[in-house]
Amino acid sequence: MKLRRLLLLAGLIGLAVLVMVHLNDLTKFWDALQDLQWYIIPLIVIVQLGSYYFNARYYQAFFAISHYHIGLRRLYETSLAINFANQALPSGGVAGTTYLSEAVKPEVPAGTATLAQLGRYVFTFLSYFIVLAVGFLLLFLGRNSDLNKPSVKLVIILMLAVLTVGLILLMVFQERKRLEAVLRQGVRALNWFGRVILRRVRPLIDPERISTFLDEFYVGYHLVLGGRGRWSKLLGWSLGYNIAEVLTIYVVFVGMGMWINPGIVITAYTLAIIASFAGFLTGGVGVYELGMIGTLTALGVPFATGFTVVLVYRALSMILFLPPGFYFYRRRLLGRAPQETVS
């Protein structure tokens, strides 16, 4: 219960910070809404609800490989709550992973839940190469292909850099001894921080729990490796999520009366995601937006238009989906949600 109370308190603080950070944008947001067609908001809601559905189905398919059958409704609520946790608690995805572990207890071990979240990042990243390939093709076939080619090359370089980092991490996770060495160094550093800075007598993390966690993690890891026949489902649900996110941004452009080259939106979204990785300590706040606006401007979209589209996209995503995400986040941590396990 201590961990759940800590997560709940952190979520409340994070929500308050998010509201304060974006308070100054509310006036600009309402002004921008006046330029949109009325039907855009329900379209955005439908597309975003679809993205959470794809996430929930990914988790369901992943857990099924390890023979854990969790209800779709429960995982859908969990997907909304994870989105809230990752935005309210800037931690590079750690907050969402921790919440997922709590949300699927006691049916799914913590190690398997962590593996599911790591797998989501991997399959989302791999599936985005399909979307990105389409984006490259559309850019090259567009009217301003000569202008776009340098940006396309930049995206390729950045994606190769991210892929290299991903391969290094894969090498670490592939061998238990390597991962155990990394984790123990991290635990040692955290416990030193707790002992010296926080003046705690007891360690923040019990080193003995690392072995139990790794046992659970690698049981799931080997099951996933043995279930290669189901990887296509995981890739497919991840692909659906990526398409929904790109489509949301494109819908905002359409709402402003602009039918631009979809490749521009795909490229801008890619650079924004990469930028948010670099600025994960701020939860992508500011860094994500700047990355997307800068790319849109470089690809020929007027700065004012790009700024308005990104502002509306981000503001609507927060206003429409953070409140229900916080509701499910809070309800699960307080133990008030039903623990159904019907798939």
pLDDT in tens, 130-146: 887 787 777 777 655 54
In a domain, 33, yes or no: no
Confidence of residue 147 (pLDDT cuts 50, 70, 90): very low
In the chain, the number of structural domains is 1
> Is pLDDT above 50 for 107?
yes
pLDDT in tens, 8-22: 565 556 555 555 555
Question: What is the domain range of residue 93?
Answer: 2-13+38-333
In a domain, 84, yes or no: yes
How many other C-beta atoms lie within 10 A of the C-beta of residue 8? 15
In a domain, 91, yes or no: yes
Lowest mean pLDDT among 88-102, 107-121, 315-329: 88-102
In a domain, 241, yes or no: yes
> Is pLDDT above 90 for 119?
no
How many other C-beta atoms lie within 10 A of the C-beta of residue 122? 17
Q: What is the pTM of this model?
A: 0.72
Confidence of residue 343 (pLDDT cuts 50, 70, 90): very low
In a domain, 125, yes or no: yes
Comparing 70 with 165, the larger pLDDT belongs to 70
Place of tokens 């700024």: 307
Rounded to whole angstroms, how far apart are CA atoms 162 and 277?
10
In a domain, 105, yes or no: yes
In a domain, 200, yes or no: yes
Rounded to whole angstroms, how far apart are CA atoms 129 and 135?
9
The reported pLDDT for the residue numbered 197 is 75
The reported pLDDT for the residue numbered 134 is 81
